[in-house]
Structure 1
Amino acid sequence: VLQKFKVKLNDVANSCVKERRYTISPTIVDVSCDTTVLVKVLTLEGLVAPHVCTIYVSAGRNIALKQRAQQTSTATPMELNKATNAVDGRKEANNNLGYCSHTEQGLRSQEWNVTLAHPSVLYRILVYSSEDDREITGGFTLSTHSSSGNLIEIWRSSAAKDATFEPYDFILLSHLPTQTVKIKGGYGMALSMCEVFVFGEYVCPDLHHGLSCQKRCQCKGHEVCNVATGKCAPGCPVGYYGFQCGLVCNSSCHEDPCLQVSGQCYRCPPGYKGDGCNDDCNSGTYGESCEQICSEFCINECDPIDGYCECSTGYRQPKCTECSQGTYGSQCAMNCSSNCLNRRCHHITGRCGACRGTHIGHNCE
C-alpha cells in the first residue's frame, strides 16, 4: 500500500519530479522529489493506507533506525530491556513485550546512546519514554557529539510528561555533522526509552551520493553531483549520457535514466545490480538494485526479487515481520491466551504482557 499512492505538490499533477521511494519498513517510506519549487500544499492521492500516523516534510529521515545502540546497564529480564529496543521503529510503551530499553535503577547515572552510520546533519529528535516509567525518566539530559567525540549541543529535559504519551521534542539548531546522540539520567534514576527518532540526513564525502553515501558521482570534470540523486548539472535529456549527451542509456536500466557520464543505471530491476543491471543480487539482499536487506529472521536466503523467505519462530511471511497481535510462535500459528489483557503476548514465547481480571502468571492461568 505504501507504494501505491501519488504525491502531488501545489495541486499540480506529476509535480513530484524524478520521484524516488525508499521503503524503510512495512510502515515507513521515504519519498524524494527533485524540485526547487516553493511548496504550499502537499497531497497524497490514490490508494493510501487507511491510517496515516505522521508525515514529516523536509525534516530528514529517521537515521537512528536499526543503528548501534548501547546503555550502561540493562534491567532484567535483559532480553526484554536491551538498548536496541529504542531504535527498532516501535514507539509503543510496553516494557513487558520487549518494546522499550530499560536500565537498572539505584546505580550511578545511567546513559543510553546511539551511533549513526555516518556523520549527519540533524534537525529534530523525538524521545518516547515508557508510560509506566514517567516518574523516573523525566529530568534527563540529551547531547549530540561529533565523530571525534566533541560536544555539539546539550539540552535538559523538562519534568516528566503526563499520561498522554507525548514525546520529548528537541529541535536542533547547529546543523553540524553529528555521529552520536547520548541520553543521560539523573543520579540513581533508571532510563527507559520506547523509541528515539533522530531526523536528519547523512553528510556525504565529496563526490559521493545516495541514502548511505555508497555511490560515487560520475560528473564530467569530477564535479560534485546532487547528494540525493547523483545527477550532474546541467544534465542530459532523459535516457542519454556521455559527451554532448550522444549515448543512449542501457535498456536494462529500471525506469530511471542512467548516470550522465558513465552510463551506469540509476536503478536496476528487482533481483539485479551493477552498472548495466546484469549482476544478480548478493546473498542477503533483494529488490530494485539489490538495495533491500533480507530480514534477519529468515531461516534461509530470501528471494532476490521480493524478499520472500521462511521465517524464524515469532515472525510471519512474506518478509518475516513480527506476529500480529494475538498470535505467536512458529509462523505465528499459535494464539495468545484468552486471559492475556487485550489478547496480547510476546510474539516468540507467548508470555502475556499483562493479565485480565484476577489471572496471574506468565500465561495468566
Structure 2
Amino acid sequence: MRVEEIRSNCSVAVVVIEVVVVVVSEKAVELVVCSSSSSSSSSTSAQFTAFGGTDVDMGWLTDMDDETCNSGTHDDPAVFLKPEVPLTWIRLVVDSADRLKEIRISYQFDLSGDITPCPSNKSKVDSTTLDIVCNTQQVVKKLYLQGSGVAGLCSVYISKGRNVALKQQATQSSKYSQKGWQAENAVDGKLDVPDDVPSQAATCTQTEDHERGWWTLIFTKPVNLYEFHIYNRRNPYTKRDCCEKRLMNFELEVWSNESAKSLFKHIDENTSVEDIYTVIPRTLIWNAKNVTIYAGQGKKILTLCEVEIYGARKCSDGWFGTSCQYQCHCAGSVECDEVDGSCSSGCHSEWFGPACQYKMVPLEDKDSFTDNKDETCAAVGDETVYIWLKTPTPLNWIRLVGNDAEDLSQVQIWNYISGIPEKCSNPRIAKVSHQTIDIECYTQRSVGTIGFGFKRTTRLCSVYVSEDRMGFSAGELEWLTDSNDESCNEGISKTVTVTLDTAIPLTWVRVVVKDGVSLRKIQLRYQLKNSSGEQKCQNQLESEVDKRTRDISCSEVGVVSRVTLSGPGVGDLCTLYISGGRNVALKQSAKQSSKYFPPDVLNAFHAENAVDGRFYTPDTLKFTCTHTVPNPGDNWWTLTFSQPMNVTRFIINNRWGKEKKTSIRR
C-alpha cells in the first residue's frame, strides 16, 4: 500500500513501515502504522517521514526488538495490516507489568465499517507480555491500540496459526524420472530454494510432461485454513528461463472431508513470475481435508519447492486451541468456541478463569467464603481474611465473588509458604462481572494459607483457588509430541501433563523451548504407576544440550505413568522427549540351544541376530532373526552382559508373516 492510498485514513500521521513483524507461528505480516501524535522525533535510523513533512519515529513498534518502546508520544496508534489477514492471536509486549491491563484492541474489516473490540480473553505469558485471543474469521484491514498502557508499548505480534502443511502426506500426478522430485519435498520445511538442479531435485517437486500436472496434500485430520504460500522454483544456473514460468496461472482448490466438496478455489492471474505466491481467502476455510494445486491451463509440468498453509486443526467435540490441546469446561455440557475456548453458558462449577481452564483447589470449609455458595456473604474490612487449603499446593488463579468488583480489586494478598507470608506482587486482575474478579498470583512453591486485606469495607461471598491450568494427555498435545521442535506451545498454559501410553522407568527427560531463557523456568513432577498422586523430581539434575535444549534427570524414580511440566517456561515449550533408558542388549554376547540351518542358506539364524540392532522384515528374516532346531527338549536363547546392568524393561520383537503382521512358526 502506498502512502497516497492511505493518507485519508489517518487523522494526523501516516508511516509506512518497510519491515516485517514475525508472528508466534513465524508467519510474517507487514504493518502500516498511523499515530494520533504529530510530535517530531530525534534523528535515528528508525525514522520515517509522515505526510505533511512531520517526522514520526515509530520503528519501535515493528523492529522485532522488545527493548525499543514507545516514548509516550504516541497515544493511540492504528495499525494497517499488509496484506489484510484474519486474526487469531495478538501478542503485546510492554515495558512494565502495570501497562498490560491498560491496553485495549479493536479492529475494522473495512474503513467504512464498524470498529469491533477484541474480547477480553487474555493470557499472560510473562510480566510484560500478553496474548489476546481475537478470532475474526474474516480478513482485517485495521487494528486500533488504545488505553494508557500504549505509552509503554514495545512490540505487536500477529499470529495466523501455524504451518499445518508441514510433514503432511502428499501425492502428485507423476514424478519426473530423474532422482528426487518427490511430492513430499514440498512440505519438508526447507524454504531456501537452491539454484543448482541436484539440490532442487532434493527439495522441490516436478511432474512428467505427458498430462496436466497436479499435487495434493492430505491432512491427517480436518483443519481450518487462513493463508497459503507457494514457493516457486528458481531457474538453475545451467539453464536459464526453464522453470519459473511453469507455475504461472496455477489453480489451487481446497476440498472438504465429506464427499470431496470444493470449499475454495483460486486461479492465479499474475502476468509476471513470482518467487512466492500468496493466497489469502477473504474468510476462514472450515474443515478442510485436501488441498490440490494444478498446473495452469495448457501447461503439463507442475513444479513446487515448498507449500506453507497456515491455519489450525479442526478440534473434536469438547476440545479447543490451535492444536486442540485444551479441554472445554462449560456449564451444562455446552461446547466451547474451538479457537478461544469461550463458553456461552459460563464455566462448569469446578472451573473458572479465562476459557474456564482453572480447576478449583479444595478449601477448608470454615466460613461463608469457602462453602461454594455465592449467595452467602459477610462484611470484610480492616482485619485480614484467611482461608486454608486442604492440601498445600502452588497457586495460579484466585477468584473473588462479592457485592462490588471495584472494591474487591483493591485487595492485597499474602501467600503463607511454610508459615512465612509472601505478598503477591503485581497481580493481574480480570473483571469477570460487576460482582466477580479473577486474580493471577502465580507461585512456584506450595501455599497452605492465603490472607486477604481490603482497603475499604465490602462484602465477600466466595473465594475460589486454582492450582494451575489443567494438563492434557499426549494425544491432544500435537505440538508437544510431533517430534517437530519448531511447533510450540502458544503461551496459554503454564502446566502440561503427558500420560504415557506405556508406563516406563523414568531415566531422563529432554525439553526443547523457543527461548533458552525459559529452560530454567520449568519444573518436573511425575506420577508412579498405580499411584494417585504426583511427586516432585528429587535431586533434579540438568544438562544443557544447546541454547534451546536441556536434559533433566531425577534420582530413584520407579515406573512412571505420567509426567507434568509446570512453571512460566512451559509457555515457550516446543517438544518433550522421555527416555526409559538405552538398549543395553545391543551387540552383547548371545547364545542359543541350537541353530536351524535352512536348505538354501547356511549363514543364517545366528543367536547374535537378535541383538544386532536390525529390525525384522519378511525378506531378511534369515539374517535378522534367530531360530532353533525343533526338538523335544527345552529351547532357549541367552544374553550375557559384559558387565552388570540395571534393567528397567524388555521389548521382544516377534517374527511375522510376509502378507500380514501375524506371528508364524516354521
TM-score, normalised relative to structure 1: 0.57
- Name the CA distance, whole Å, in 2 between partners of 1:167 and 1:256: 47
Identity of aligned residues (%): 19
As a proportion of its length, which structure holds more strand? 2
CA contact (8 A) 1:230 1:259 kept: no
Equivalent residues in 2 for 1:220-259 (5 A)?
220-228=331-339, 230=341, 233=346, 236=352, 241=360, 251=394
- Name the CA distance, whole Å, in 2 between partners of 1:115 and 1:259: 44
Displacement of 1:84 in angstroms is 2.1
Displacement of 1:244 in angstroms is 6.1
Closer/same/farther in 2, CA of residues 276 and 60 from structure 1, 3 Å limit: farther
CA contact (8 A) 2:207 2:303 kept: no
Structure 1 partner of 2:199: 97
Displacement of 1:87 in angstroms is 1.8
- Name the CA distance, whole Å, in 1 between partners of 2:231 and 2:465: 41
CA contact (8 A) 1:218 1:259 kept: no
Closer/same/farther in 2, CA of residues 290 and 88 from structure 1, 3 Å limit: same
- 1:149-175 per-residue CA deviation (whole Å, 9 max, x = no partner) reads 11122222125643x624243425463
Displacement of 1:280 in angstroms is 4.7
CA contact (8 A) 1:218 1:261 kept: no
- Name the CA distance, whole Å, in 2 between partners of 1:206 and 1:153: 25
Structure 2 partner of 1:33: 132
Displacement of 1:211 in angstroms is 2.9
Secondary structure of the residue that 1:14 maps to in structure 2? helix
CA contact (8 A) 2:175 2:208 kept: no
- Unaligned regions of 5+ residues in structure 1, if any? 22-30, 47-54, 295-301, 305-365
- Name the CA distance, whole Å, in 1 between partners of 2:216 and 2:526: 35
- Name the CA distance, whole Å, in 2 between partners of 1:256 and 1:205: 33
> What is the root-mean-square deviation of aligned Cα atoms in Å?
4.9
Structure 1 partner of 2:234: 131
CA contact (8 A) 1:121 1:200 kept: yes
1:61 and 2:169 correspond: no
Q: What letter corresponds to residue 145 of structure 1 in structure 2? A: W
As a proportion of its length, which structure holds more helix? 2
Closer/same/farther in 2, CA of residues 264 and 214 from structure 1, 3 Å limit: closer
- Name the CA distance, whole Å, in 1 between partners of 2:470 and 2:267: 48
Bigger radius of gyration among the two: 2
Structure 2 partner of 1:120: 223
Equivalent residues in 2 for 1:9-48 (5 A)?
13-14=99-100, 17-19=122-124, 32-34=131-133, 39-41=143-145, 45=154
Displacement of 1:259 in angstroms is 11
Q: What letter corresponds to residue 96 of structure 1 in structure 2? A: P
- Name the CA distance, whole Å, in 2 between partners of 1:256 and 1:33: 23
Displacement of 1:145 in angstroms is 0.3
Displacement of 1:272 in angstroms is 5.8
Q: What letter corresponds to residue 241 of structure 1 in structure 2? A: M
1:212 and 2:359 correspond: no
Out of 59, 67, 71, the position equivalent to 2:172 is 71
Determine which structure has greater relative contact order: mean sequence separation of CA pairs < 8 Å that are 6+ residues apart, divided by chain length: 1
Structure 1 partner of 2:188: 88
Closer/same/farther in 2, CA of residues 165 and 152 from structure 1, 3 Å limit: same
- Name the CA distance, whole Å, in 2 between partners of 1:160 and 1:276: 65
Displacement of 1:86 in angstroms is 1.6
Matched residue count:
274
CA contact (8 A) 1:103 1:191 kept: yes
- Unaligned regions of 5+ residues in structure 2, if any? 1-22, 25-63, 67-90, 104-121, 136-141, 236-242, 362-371, 375-386, 398-441, 445-463, 472-492, 497-521, 536-560, 580-666
- 1:171-215 per-residue CA deviation (whole Å, 9 max, x = no partner) reads 254633211110011455222212212122223233112333254
Closer/same/farther in 2, CA of residues 240 and 182 from structure 1, 3 Å limit: closer
CA contact (8 A) 2:395 2:467 kept: no
Displacement of 1:102 in angstroms is 1.7
1:145 and 2:258 correspond: no
Structure 1 range deviating more: 121-130 or 81-90: 81-90
Displacement of 1:125 in angstroms is 1.4
Closer/same/farther in 2, CA of residues 8 and 69 from structure 1, 3 Å limit: same
- Name the CA distance, whole Å, in 2 between partners of 1:61 and 1:90: 15
- Name the CA distance, whole Å, in 1 between partners of 2:289 and 2:465: 30
Q: What letter corresponds to residue 124 of structure 1 in structure 2? A: E
Structure 1 partner of 2:609: none
CA contact (8 A) 1:126 1:196 kept: yes
TM-score, normalised relative to structure 2: 0.34
CA contact (8 A) 1:111 1:182 kept: yes
Closer/same/farther in 2, CA of residues 211 and 256 from structure 1, 3 Å limit: farther
CA contact (8 A) 1:71 1:112 kept: yes
- Name the CA distance, whole Å, in 2 between partners of 1:18 and 1:273: 26
Structure 2 partner of 1:362: none
Out of 263, 266, 269, the position equivalent to 1:158 is 269
Q: What letter corresponds to residue 14 of structure 1 in structure 2? A: L
